[in-house]
Chains A and B, each alone.
Chain A
Amino acid sequence: NAGVTQTPKFRVLKTGQSMTLLCAQDMNHEYMYWYRQDPGMGLRLIHYSVGEGTTAKGEVPDGYNVSRLKKQNFLLGLESAAPSQTSVYFCASQRGSKNIQYFGAGTRLSVL
Chain B
Amino acid sequence: EIVLTQSPGTLSLSPGERATLSCRASQSVSSSYLAWYQQKPGQAPRLLIYGTSSRATGIPDRFSGSGSGTDFTLTISRLEPEDFAVYYCHHYGTSPWTFGQGTKVEIK
A and B interact:
no
